[in-house]
Amino acid sequence: MYKNLRWKLLSIAAVFVVFFAVGVYPMLGAHFHLPVPEALQSRALKLGLDLKGGVELRMRVNTDDALKTTTTSTAEALRASLATSNITPMINVTSPMTFRVEGVPQDRDSQFRTASDEVTATDYDRNPLPAGTYEFKMKPNIERDQREQAVDQTMQTIDRRVNELGVVEPSIARQSNNEELLIQLPGVSDVAHAKEIIGKTAQLEFKLVEAGPASKEDLLKQYNGNLPGDLEILPGSGGDATGAFYVVKKIAPVTGSDLRVAKPGLDENNQPAVHFELKPAGAPKFGKLSGENIGRYLAIALDNKIISAPRLDGRITDQGRISGGFTAESANDLALTLRSGALPASLTSLEENVVGPSLGADSIRAGVLASLVGLMLILGFMLVYYKLSGINAAVALIFNLVILLGLMAYLGATMTLPGIAGFVLTMGVGVDSNVLIFERIKEEIAAQRGVRAAINAGFSRVLMTLLDTHVASLIAAAFLFQFGTGPIRGFATTLSIGLFVNLFTSIFVSKTLYDFELSRRQVPALSI
């Protein structure tokens, strides 16, 4: 028995030391300027937006952009399919969900229907109109799925971008309106830079230049005012493309989705530029595009603005460079956004809030003060009401505190103000557990049991009650975590971890302390 007790004490001491080192010592080191090993610094408990300060943005995803991209691609695919059969009607995108085909020859109507069935049947409804005109409208279920996917992809892209920014524990959650996002960036103070990085669509496209650079009016004159349906005019932006317009192909053979790596660097004039490498699937496409068009100009378009339009002097396969009057910072930002991928839809900023570090420090101070005052009052009550057994409860409660902080730091959880509320609630649950055990022990002593028998009975008979209450609380916390957002999840996380820790301290640690005391001497009466 004594051997088992020794191992129990050593185990408890080891757990205390480990979690004190992980959860408490880094905070003490930061406050009192103590040396903290790097391994422990990286594990230090992270603070949320409400404690650390940072930026909170509310943005709407313009899902119509994603629908319009799909509709335009489908219209162009139908145009290409009809061209192989020498059918060349007018095709115009009339809304994000619809496009119209006009001028289908009556004698080619059957061929047109066959071609359109192959391209659009699964996603669009075809409505015939007079005079060889057809309207194609996206099916409701496809529209719903496309909007859902656009929001999901936007959240994933924003998450990659803020991670590239080095933001720790960002929170990106949907609001009640399914197309609105709440983005919390702890530790970020530059709102404008954060919005620029998050909100840039970063749709990179490589398109062949048909005409330009020139003014928009001069370019239209070259086509007698009617631009062919497969061409478009894009403005220049930056570097050699500033102030000019270009006529380019609508469909881009190579896009940003074909990039494998994008990183800032320098061009041949030692000016900031972005170097990129293509994925294995993108390299052959770029090689074919460049090899078949040597001597022509290739527009590099970002978000429908041409950054540069270099001449193709040879076949390019798996890597290239984007130059365009960048600064070192803008080249770095562009490389970051290209690496994280393009947004499927643009974002509209609805609201922005900045939580200053001073407010965060005030929150921390108030939260810590409230926790300490609560802890002192609880310990005082336990010592007064349960006498020497109250010391047992106090030790178990301090163990609870240290292990909870250590586990949260080890698991990478983020401490928020609601998390502190969960923290205080956990201490209350810990006290409740000890009260239940002590009251049961007092009942056993009143029934004329010996001290050791009363303690054993007290713990064993309360065990199922404690398990019932803790499991019920864990189920509630699980629902809060599943259906809640940032602050609610912080509360649920702290509460869940605290409940597990409380079972360990109130049953195992507290019982071991009693066993240790009884092993040292004969106790005729228990101070409780």
Residue 92 has phi, psi (to 5 degrees) of -130, 135
Q: What is the pLDDT of the chain when averaged over all its residues? A: 81
Per-residue burial over 247-272, b if 16 or more Cβ lie within 10 Å, else e, is bbbbbbbbbbebbeebebeebeeeeb
pLDDT at 356: 66
User: How many other C-beta atoms are found inside a 10 Å radius of the C-beta of residue 22?
Assistant: 22
Beta-ladder partners of 57: 183, 352
pLDDT band at residue 363, thresholds of 50, 70 and 90? low
Instruction: Give residue-wise pLDDT tens across range 430-442.
Output: 888 888 888 888 8
Dihedral angle, C-alpha 6, 12, 17, 18, nearest 10 °: 120
Residue 98 has pLDDT above 90, yes or no: yes
Assigned token pair, 338: 């290209």
Residue 292: count of CB within 10 angstroms of its CB: 12
pLDDT, one tens digit per residue, over 103-130 is: 888 888 888 888 888 888 788 998 988 8
pLDDT at 135: 92
Who contacts 502 (Cβ-Cβ below 8 Å, separation ≥6)?
A: 400, 426, 429, 430, 433, 470
**Rounded CA separation 382/120 (Å):** 74
β-partners of residue 254 are 206
Cβ atoms 117, 110 nearer than 8 A: no
Q: Which residue, among 142, 53, 132, 19, has the nearest Cα to 359 in the 3D structure? A: 53
Lowest mean pLDDT among 286-290, 344-348, 370-374: 370-374
pLDDT in the model for residue 138: 92
Element spanning 349, H or E: strand 347-355
**What confidence score (pLDDT) does residue 507 get?**
85
d(CA 136, CA 145): 18
Q: Is the pLDDT of residue 94 over 80?
A: yes
Encode 327-355: b = buried (16+ Cβ within 10 Å), e = exposed: eeebbebbbbbbbbbbbbbbbeeeeeeeb
Cα–Cα distance, 459 to 305 (Å, whole number)? 73
The one-letter amino acid code at 89 reads P
Q: Is the per-residue pLDDT at 242 higher than 60?
A: no
Q: What pLDDT sits at residue 359?
A: 56
pLDDT class for 168, splitting at 50, 70, 90? low
Q: Which two tokens stand for residue 171?
A: 């929170």
